[in-house]
Structure 1
């Protein structure tokens, strides 16, 4: 270990901090859908207003991703992630006062800003703080924690409402996980600040987004295509089977299976990337899994619904986790990784936030979900084409 790296906490402490923060990056969104009907009836909100509770964080993830770089330029990426963790905890806790409408949306907005800053800067910190030969495994743990938080918050929202006596308490209870993330990240931020001070001469001070970089646009296009499909699938998988006559509870279980499959592939994909030089093999395998799931939901949804959900989840989980690996791989420095993440997330999430609404309009126009899954399957062909172009040796962001 170099003298500079002696300033860093032990590897397990940094991994714990990363995982604890990552576990909060989807809970604010995933905890809402099971409670939509209850919240809408209690507050008298329309379906469009309720949809904003899920769309608002996704929009924040796109709009505020570039701002993350400006904050990091002023106080350093570790300190910016600490602020992001605080925004997540405070914003989630503010939803306890959801008997008034404005705290519900204000809290969601604050948490969305935290998601944008944390999600943008963490890939660069993986490159800066962890050994290169462990970047895939650490990225997999990051993905596993993020999707694990989403799965848990979705599955426990209704039981927590019963245990705590209100939907407000259920939504706000995830602030405790935010406090855990903030606490676990504190020693990482302090050690990383000492590390950055010891290596200040070698740090890249460029923080402009790489708008003229061809590789950055390719990664952004891939992530935009993947994210559009993921958020559209998340929004419409359960309603597809409710329309087929399923009980909503069982449709919710199907959505949980979809999320759990992402946990598995989200950890496995990046771990394998440490051993597979040409990541296109893994990217294409993930895309083919997603395509099989979408074709099944398009052509024969009731033939094997649980299989389609599992295969689609495996493909979506691996595709997103590998996109995080690409952000690390296609950057020459930690600053370059943060700049690439800022641009890719701004482009992809701004576009992906329109996915569920667009697919919903398509469903309304056609009177069913067949066209939705057909469109997503066709879009997967574009993802396959983009994955094929993500070859080793592309010019890196530096």
Structure 2
């Protein structure tokens, strides 16, 4: 069969991917979704309330951007330490500790009255998110070896869906209670519930069920690989970082952008919530669409192109079709988020090596992503508008499209050799 040069298009044929999910699989996926819902409200709940928070704490635009970027930095740095935590306490306790950190940090926001206190809670919660995001992909690679796109898609969709809930519910809780503190602190409850569900699942099924344990027993020990020396690992990390840079910037400043254009707090928050609905749908559907194809690049380019269209729309015609622009951008962001992680997992059959690679990719990626909202906030302070920030995002998306073509499936077999 003829193929376009440089593009591999064979479908993946795995008999196991067509088998029905068991009730145990459904239980695992349900708990994974419950966990994922808690990984973004600490970011998105702040954004619609940013003007109120700034007035109460005296934070500048640049300082307020740290409420979004600091947790993302913590996600990146924390991902690098996930391996040490796994060896110290194991994956089960590691994920539980991550959820506990989120619950404690959100609870503390009920009494936080200064910018410093809020930033401290953002740091603690970000570390908790880092641990969960670094450990769960390896667990999913092991538990759902033949269904990684499905598991990662559901996990990513729940992350995006949780972000939408944070953006939409927090303003209403803040208004109903008369306190922005309550709008931020409410997210301690689902984090605590998810922790209970996770521990109950592990008590019932131990760390993994018999099928996953048999897969581990059949897997040969993989030699130690210095992932930080591999160019492919850095390329995947940069790609993931630029994807999330678009997300963190929009989460931090999309409501402020439309409030500057005359929108209310509730309406601007609803736009962010709508964006995350499209993110969640695409985070699930794009990996599933790409699941039968070994070459993920055409699907990644499609997602990136949607991002670019949405950003250009926000820049050129912000008041004409705001819901369309945030929806298109959100669909691109959600799909490429999950599919970039699937692409990283594709590089190694051994779940331990795959988990280490994904942790490294997230470590690099979230540190890169943390820079974007800070730069955008600084540009807003200097220019008085967000035009320069949207131009910056468009340029980054164009660079990502070019980088995507380096991820040929033929290179997976050479990794982690000289690459």
- Give 1:46 shift: 4.5
1:185 aligns with 2:185: no
Give the 5 Å matches for 1:284-295. 284-295=301-312
Q: What is the alpha-carbon distance in structure 2 between the residues aligned to residue 14 and residue 219 of structure 1?
A: 28
Contact conserved, 1:210 with 1:340, CA < 8 A, in 2?
Answer: yes
> Where does residue 323 of structure 1 map in the other structure?
340
1:85/1:391 Cα in 2 relative to 1: closer, same or farther (>3 Å)?
Answer: same
What runs of 5+ residues in structure 2 fail to find an aligned partner?
1-21
Task: State how many pairs are aligned.
Answer: 390
Give the 5 Å matches for 1:104-143. 104-132=118-146, 134-143=147-156
- Taking structure 1 as the reference length, what is the TM-score of the superposition? 0.89
Q: Tell me the secondary structure at the aligned position of residue 229 of structure 2.
A: coil
> Where does residue 36 of structure 1 map in the other structure?
50
> Where does residue 154 of structure 1 map in the other structure?
167
RMSD of aligned C-alpha atoms? 2.6
Deviations 1:85-131 (A, max 9, x none): 22122222222222476654443322111101001111111101114
Q: What is the alpha-carbon distance in structure 2 between the residues aligned to residue 391 and residue 140 of structure 1?
A: 21
Q: Tell me the secondary structure at the aligned position of residue 155 of structure 1.
A: helix
Deviations 1:202-254 (A, max 9, x none): 47577775011232122112112212222122223333333334444433322
- Give 1:25 shift: 0.7
- Taking structure 2 as the reference length, what is the TM-score of the superposition? 0.85
Q: What is the alpha-carbon distance in structure 1 between the residues aligned to residue 118 and residue 260 of structure 2?
A: 30
1:19/1:76 Cα in 2 relative to 1: closer, same or farther (>3 Å)?
Answer: same
Give the 5 Å matches for 1:234-253. 234-253=251-270
1:350 aligns with 2:367: yes
- Give 1:269 shift: 1.0
> Where does residue 187 of structure 2 map in the other structure?
174
- Give 1:165 shift: 4.4
1:100/1:212 Cα in 2 relative to 1: closer, same or farther (>3 Å)?
Answer: closer
Contact conserved, 2:48 with 2:265, CA < 8 A, in 1?
Answer: no
Q: What is the alpha-carbon distance in structure 1 between the residues aligned to residue 382 and residue 56 of structure 2?
A: 30
Deviations 1:114-158 (A, max 9, x none): 1010011111111011141x2111111111111111111111112
1:157/1:109 Cα in 2 relative to 1: closer, same or farther (>3 Å)?
Answer: same
Contact conserved, 1:215 with 1:394, CA < 8 A, in 2?
Answer: no
1:51/1:237 Cα in 2 relative to 1: closer, same or farther (>3 Å)?
Answer: closer
- Give 1:47 shift: 4.3
> Where does residue 103 of structure 2 map in the other structure?
89
Contact conserved, 1:265 with 1:318, CA < 8 A, in 2?
Answer: yes
Q: Tell me the secondary structure at the aligned position of residue 374 of structure 1.
A: helix
Contact conserved, 1:76 with 1:193, CA < 8 A, in 2?
Answer: no
> Where does residue 4 of structure 1 map in the other structure?
none
> Where does residue 339 of structure 1 map in the other structure?
356
Deviations 1:9-67 (A, max 9, x none): 92122112211111111111111122233334344545444333222211100111111
Contact conserved, 1:286 with 1:315, CA < 8 A, in 2?
Answer: yes
Task: Name which of structure 1's ranges 22-31 and 42-51 shifts more when overlaid on structure 2.
Answer: 42-51
1:187/1:53 Cα in 2 relative to 1: closer, same or farther (>3 Å)?
Answer: same
1:206/1:77 Cα in 2 relative to 1: closer, same or farther (>3 Å)?
Answer: farther
Q: Tell me the secondary structure at the aligned position of residue 335 of structure 1.
A: helix
Q: Tell me the secondary structure at the aligned position of residue 405 of structure 2.
A: helix
Q: Tell me the secondary structure at the aligned position of residue 81 of structure 2.
A: helix
Contact conserved, 1:239 with 1:251, CA < 8 A, in 2?
Answer: yes
> Where does residue 328 of structure 2 map in the other structure?
311
> Where does residue 258 of structure 1 map in the other structure?
275
Deviations 1:243-301 (A, max 9, x none): 33444443332222222211111111122222233211210110111111122223333
